Amino acid sequence: MATYTWYLQGTSPTTIEATDIIQFAGATFDSAITVGAYNDSTHVESSVGANDSSGNSPNNNKFVSASGGGGGDSQADWGDGTEDIDAITDEECALKINFSHTSAVAVTDHILYAYDGSTTTNAPTGVDFQVAESGDTNFTNAEGSASALGVTDSGSATSHDFYFLISASPESVGEKTDFVLRDELTYS
Amino acid sequence: MKANGKYTALEILQEAGIENPQDVFGKMRVRIAGIAGIVKPNHLITIQSGVEKIDVIVGAEKVGLELEQSEEKTISSEAKMAIEKKAEKIKKETE
């Protein structure tokens, strides 16, 4: 039997349930991000608006540049100022996805992207979304399935952990809700 | 070679003692740790933490590769180069 669990990492991980919202925000929960700027904090919001990650000091990965770092690397700020993203550790990544299976399986054809919540080929509405796998040198502007981040294949195991930097920026004023993250993989 | 790491297929074949490993891709069946259909030497593979042994199959030859355990994640220099190449390709495609 397969189990898929998403976490927002922090001093303790917060499990992201299927009905929860990953909230990209300004400095604090429910605060706005300036148009064109990126998230200063990341939270798990319940379906009724509660701050589920409030006690866990959730990690934040803020996109800084696509290729402004050493050797054309992308840059982000995860709390220590601007750094090349290949310097991040798994523990510093905001998003962790665990895929487990009762028997050992390999994971291939794994992709992660954002879409509008209706059609997977569509980009999210009014949002710029950036994602990178831990160890990557550059962010992927993963908007719509055709632009998805390709995640490294994972050899046979009963538990597979995947770590991602995630960051988002509003392209206009107002809360963005046509914005869904989707992870697809094949196991065998 | 350590678990909790990211490596290229070529490195894993070298570690497994496959003869002339660079020559097998695209010519013989290569299956590493349950991942089938590997046709490129720079195919990236994550080996999860806690995995003690992986099977490496090339053609009819099967080798069991024992892994050291490590709490610290390893990304080999060859894997880093493959990641950089992948990023270059994506950049060119989006330009």
Q: Examine the pLDDT at B94 and tell me if it is beyond 90.
A: no
Mind telling me how many Å the CA of B91 is from chain A's nearest CA? 9
Domain count, chain B: 1
Q: DSSP letters of B8-35?
A: EHHHHHHHTT-SSGGGTTTTS-EEETTB
- A152 to B6: CB separation less than 8 angstroms, yes or no: yes
The residues in B 26-55 lying below 8 A from A, measured between CB atoms, are 32-36, 43-51, 54-55
Residues of B in contact with A141 (CB under 8 A): 94
Smallest CA-to-CA distance from A161 within A186, A133, A140 is with A133
Look at the block and give the residue holding tokens 């990650």. A53
Non-local (6+) Cβ contacts of A166 within 8 A are A22, A42, A61, A94, A95, A129, A130, A131, A181
Terminal CA-to-CA distance of chain B, rounded, Å? 37
Q: Least CB-CB distance to B48: which of A72, A136, A159? A: A159
Residue B64 structural domain: 5-94
| Cα A114 to Cα A110: distance, rounded to the nearest angstrom | 14
Q: Report the alpha-carbon distance of residue B70 to residue A164 in Å, rounded.
A: 21
Q: Exposed, middle or buried, A166 (CB in 10 Å: 0-12/13-18/19+)?
A: buried
- How many A×B Cβ pairs under 8 Å? 73
pTM, entire model: 0.96
How far apart (Å, rounded) are the C-alpha atoms in residues A70 and A72? 5
pLDDT digits (tens, 9 = 90+) for B12-54: 999 999 999 999 999 999 999 999 999 999 999 999 999 999 9
Question: Hey, is the C-beta of B92 within 8 angstroms of any chain A C-beta?
Answer: no
With beta carbons less than 8 A apart as the criterion, state whether A143 and A129 touch. Answer: yes
**In whole angstroms, how far apart are CA A50 and each of A95, A122, A166, B87?**
19, 29, 21, 38
Asked if A108's CB is within 8 angstroms of B35's CB, the reply is: yes
In angstroms, the CA A9 to CA A134 distance is 13
Chain A residue with the nearest C-alpha to that of B53: A156
Q: How far is CA A14 from the centre of its chain?
A: 13
Residues of A with CB under 8 A from a CB of B: 67, 71-72, 86, 89-90, 104-106, 108, 134-138, 140-141, 150, 152-157, 159-161, 188
Whether B80 contacts chain A with CB within 8 A: yes
Domain ranges of chain A: 2-187
Tens digits of residue pLDDT in B12-22 = 999 999 999 99
pLDDT band at B92 (very low <50, low <70, confident <90, very high): confident
Q: Give the distance from residue A151's alpha carbon to the nearest chain B alpha carbon, in angstroms.
A: 9
| pLDDT tens figures, A100-157 | 999 999 999 999 999 999 999 999 999 999 999 999 999 999 999 999 999 999 999 9
- Helix ranges (H only) for A2-122 are none
